[in-house]
Amino acid sequence: MNVKVVVYYIGVSLMMVAALMFVSGLIACFTPGDASRIPLLFSAFVTAVAGIFPLLFVRRGTERLRFREGNSVVVLSWVTVCLFGFLPYLLYGQEFSALDALFETVSGFTTTGASILDDVEGLPRGLQFWRISTAWVGGVGIVTLFSMFVTRIGDRSALSGAEISDVARSSFSGERNALFANRLLIVYVGLTLLTMFALKLTGLGWFDAAAHAMSACSTCGFSTRNASIAAFNNPAAEVVLTFSMLAAALNFGLIFLSFVRGGKKIWHSETVRVFLGLVALFIVVIAIDLYRSEGYDSAARALRDASFQVASLSTTTGFATSDTVQWPALSMVLLWLCSWVCGCSGSTSGGIKMDRFLLAVKGIRSRIRSAVNPGQFWIVRVSGKVRSAEQVSEATNYIFCYVLIAAFFAVINVAGGLDFVTGLTASVACLGNVGPGFGDVGSMSNYAHIPAMLKVTGIVEMILGRLEIFPVLYLIGERFLKN
């Protein structure tokens, strides 16, 4: 492997992070009494020095990036920016120990939204913007974002191709990875701006509107308020955020073709139809269950809360308008199921992804049909396109690994002192980049109280989930399993 080129591109990612720190520091400088200006500006300087060193002294060579280098750049860039990204929190102090600062940073970059903060509103504005900006950059992908500035098309394709899974590009077979990444970024920026202006029209201030737009479109769920979206008690803002979260959970390439190119491809996608159909079904069932419970005497209020919370968890955003731990058992189980499959590939949402779920279900159905009718050959189609046996196998393998890892860390959580519900749902929430679970890590709670060892395992899960497992396994396998 060409180590020099890997180090070079890690330096590029650090420079991008340093620029974001500097912008956050400028916001702190223009905010009277903001105590985060020094931590942010000093962190930006340290990160920039670390990033510019390989750019000046390491020659990347002329050969084209291969998969091995591209995969290493992706995994190591994510780990490195998290290690530098926690500096502003650490230097600021207050609630942040070293481990808590790292947990909050990884949660932001991976768009998990699992926080250790008891008083979010106590953070200075500059540090709040840094917290939200980590989520926004993590939503589109750190390497995908800086690959936009790489001049060589071959390198751009290798970098974005290693970070964007094959299933995310399945609707655009034959197109370059770099082209898909360009479309993703255009939709991402456009959706964020549209959400920000819409939230402003609902009565939110500019800072709150921008912060929640960035958080919603990255499907992170970081808020500027301790009570999340419930603090605003603004039905119009909830409607805007609901549509924004659902849009951010759809394939951005399909959105580009539908609204930028003027086609109707998004409505023709079976994956989109199934995802939105299941969301609608869960909303109706949970609204009925809530209305039948003692806590809701209004059907409109039950529908309002059900719509927002289903959209929030099924997109892995994690915003909250009510304490779902207090909901009836059926509603909690359905919400937990929402946090497993989640949105579509090619979006900013986490979880297994509806594309893989459909492939696996149709693959199982094909096997059953072949067993019942041995003389017939059944093929798997999704959105009218034939899927190969290899694609079906990749989907089922991923789901198997996903469930196995979630179960493994759930056992660790329970062994580490968490109760069964908290341990199980916290594992699924971290691996799926969802954020809130149930029990002691519910929608109105946080991860501040969990043991230090479980925060470390949570960090590992969040990175595994954001990188969709296999890039990390490839890197580990290349290093330790050569023979």
Can you give the three-state secondary structure of 315-347, one letter per residue?
A: CCCCCCCCCHHHCCHHHHHHHHHHHHHCCCCCC
Question: What pLDDT is stored for residue 397 in this prediction?
Answer: 92
Q: What's the CA gap between 5 and 65, in Å, rounded?
A: 8
- Give the list of residues 6+ apart from residue 174 with CB closer than 8 angstroms, or none: none
Q: What's the CA gap between 315 and 432, in Å, rounded?
A: 10
Q: What's the CA gap between 421 and 401, in Å, rounded?
A: 21
Q: What's the CA gap between 349 and 434, in Å, rounded?
A: 8
Neighbour-count burial of 61, counting CB atoms closer than 10 A to its CB (0-12 exposed, 13-18 middle, 19+ buried):
exposed
Question: pLDDT by residue (tens digit) across 344-391?
Answer: 888 889 999 999 999 999 998 888 888 888 777 778 888 778 888 888
How far does CA 318 lie from the centroid of its chain?
10
Question: pLDDT by residue (tens digit) across 446-459?
Answer: 999 999 999 999 99
Q: What's the CA gap between 477 and 483, in Å, rounded?
A: 10
Question: What pLDDT is stored for residue 378 in this prediction?
Answer: 76
Closest CA to 5 of 115, 119, 220, 150: 150
Q: What's the CA gap between 463 and 430, in Å, rounded?
A: 9
Question: What pLDDT is stored for residue 265 in this prediction?
Answer: 72
- Among positive and negative, which fits the CA dihedral 216, 217, 222, 225? negative
Question: What pLDDT is stored for residue 174 in this prediction?
Answer: 41
How far does CA 174 lie from the centroid of its chain?
26
DSSP 17-57: HHHHHHHHHHHHHTSTT-TTHHHHHHHHHHHHHHHHHHHHH
* Number of residues written out for the chain: 483
Q: What's the CA gap between 215 and 13, in Å, rounded?
A: 21
Question: What pLDDT is stored for residue 214 in this prediction?
Answer: 95
Neighbour-count burial of 97, counting CB atoms closer than 10 A to its CB (0-12 exposed, 13-18 middle, 19+ buried):
middle
Cβ-contact 129, 19 below 8 angstroms: no
Q: What's the CA gap between 435 and 111, in Å, rounded?
A: 8
Closest CA to 421 of 348, 355, 332: 332
Q: What's the whole-model pTM score?
A: 0.90
Q: What's the CA gap between 433 and 318, in Å, rounded?
A: 9
Question: What pLDDT is stored for residue 54 in this prediction?
Answer: 84
DSSP 445-470: --STTS-HHHHHHHHHHHHHHHTTSH
Phi, psi of 354 (to 5 degrees): -60, -30
Q: What's the CA gap between 122 and 353, in Å, rounded?
A: 35
Report the amino acid identity of residue 71.
N
Break the chain into its structural domains and give their ranges: 1-163, 172-398
List Cα–Cα distances, 97 to 92, 94, 351, 393, 407, in angstroms. Answer: 10, 8, 29, 43, 28
Residues of the chain whose pLDDT is less than 50? Answer: 151, 153, 173-175
Phi, psi of 479 (to 5 degrees): -80, -40
Beta strand 385-387 with 380-382: parallel, antiparallel or unpaired? Answer: antiparallel
- Give the list of residues 6+ apart from residue 390 with CB closer than 8 angstroms, or none: none
Question: pLDDT by residue (tens digit) across 457-479?
Answer: 999 999 999 988 888 888 887 66
Residue with tokens 């086609």: 263
276: three-class secondary structure by DSSP: helix
Question: What pLDDT is stored for residue 123 in this prediction?
Answer: 92
How far does CA 111 lie from the centroid of its chain?
4
* Helix locations, 148-176, DSSP H: 153-163
